[in-house]
Structure 1
Amino acid sequence: MNKEKVTFACVKIAKQYEHEVSFTPPYHCELQPIEGIWSVVKGEVAHSGPHPNLLSVRNTLLNAFKKKITSQVIIGFWRRALKNAKEYLEFDDNAQLMDDDFDEYDNSDEDCVI
């Protein structure tokens, strides 16, 4: 309560261009597309076997990003996050979204394909 409210740089930049930044609630990984991407990449590292050092882990991470994370995968995770956000909105009277116009980005019920 007594902490000074800090304005993030992204919020300042968005206001400068007359945009508004929305934040998702904490601890809701199903609303964060990056969490799905990380799960794919970490899974690749886990399945690649033991690593002798951190450089090997780093290289495996980079290769996984290059080979597994395509634009299709990213779009799939965004669609999944939007679908989950819509479900929250429909089932929780207290849930709020900044804009209902996100339907244009979710024109199918497809989940990501990896």
Structure 2
Amino acid sequence: MPKRIQSSGRNIVLSVRDFCEREKDNNAPLIPFGNVRQRVAAKTGISEKTLNKAPTLSSTKAEMQNWIINKGLSYLPTMVKAQLYKIIKEHKEAPIYEADQMLQAHCHKVARLPPYHCELNAIEFMWSLVKRRVANKNVGQETNNIVNLAEEAFQSITAEDWQKQCEHVRHIEDKLRERDVYMDAEMDRFIIELNNESDTESDSSSEDSSDSDYSSLAIHMDHAYSK
């Protein structure tokens, strides 16, 4: 009995078939044959970023070796995966996103936000401003009018609004940098001294001797947790 194709595999097969049918109906290549990466990405539905992705530690040893060879690099046959991965990390390229290329083609500079810090995203503050303006006009209004109110709120956003929110984000960034300096200073004030003699004691030591081992741990802290 033929082996059943997994759902992810079926999706790729269907995507390739759809691409070929569209190309046949077009009577011409949808993407030039020389653009191999773009054609493969369009056929399979897999982004160019995924196709260019470098192996990770979870990849097989053969995948790592093939990647190194394709990059024109060399490795020793005796190398283990950790050593191969070190070569990969030193030579892997930064990911290239299609959206970045489109924006750069129109003279836009792409800036990415740090993860898990929505307070550093000016768009979050602008979105909050839009929702407030919609809520202020939504008293007694029908639900169908919310779309119109939202469009009016978006159109009411000015360059001054953006400037104000961006300045607010810069203010938060400055505060976070100040806290980082204080945190480093506080961490340096923690001095932990361990008595290495406890490592040489036998496992048959008594409870009294164990208590004395704990007493040899000296911790000097000037930080007051009540603050």
**Would you say same fold, with TM above 0.5?**
yes
Structure-1 residue corresponding to 2:143: 53
Give the letter for the 1:38 counterpart: W
1:76 to 152, 157, 164: 164
Aligned-partner Cα distance in 2 for 1:13–1:44:
32
2:180 to 57, 79, 92: 92
For structure 2, list consecutive stretches of 5 or more residues without a partner in the other structure: 1-49, 54-94, 182-227
2:120 to 21, 25, 31: 31
- TM-score, normalisation: structure 1: 0.57
Aligned-partner Cα distance in 2 for 1:16–1:66:
27
1:18-56, Cα deviation, whole Å (9 max, x unpaired)? x974422233222111111111110122222244234x1
The structure that has the greater radius of gyration is 2
Q: Secondary structure of the equivalent of 1:24?
A: coil
Give the letter for the 1:44 counterpart: R
Q: Which has the higher contact order (CA 8 A, sep 6+)?
A: 1
Structure-1 residue corresponding to 2:151: 62
Give the direction of change, closer, same or farther, for the CA distance of 1:92–1:43 in structure 2 (3 Å limit). same
Give the letter for the 1:88 counterpart: L
Give the letter for the 2:177 counterpart: L
Across the two proteins, how many residue pairs are aligned to each other? 87
Structure-1 residue corresponding to 2:97: 8
- Runs of 4+ in structure 1 over 3 Å off: 4-7, 10-17, 19-22
Identity %: 29
1:55-111, Cα deviation, whole Å (9 max, x unpaired)? x111101112223x2111110111111221232233226xxxxxxxxxxxxxxxxxx
For structure 1, list consecutive stretches of 5 or more residues without a partner in the other structure: 94-114
Aligned-partner Cα distance in 2 for 1:14–1:64:
26
Give the letter for the 2:127 counterpart: W
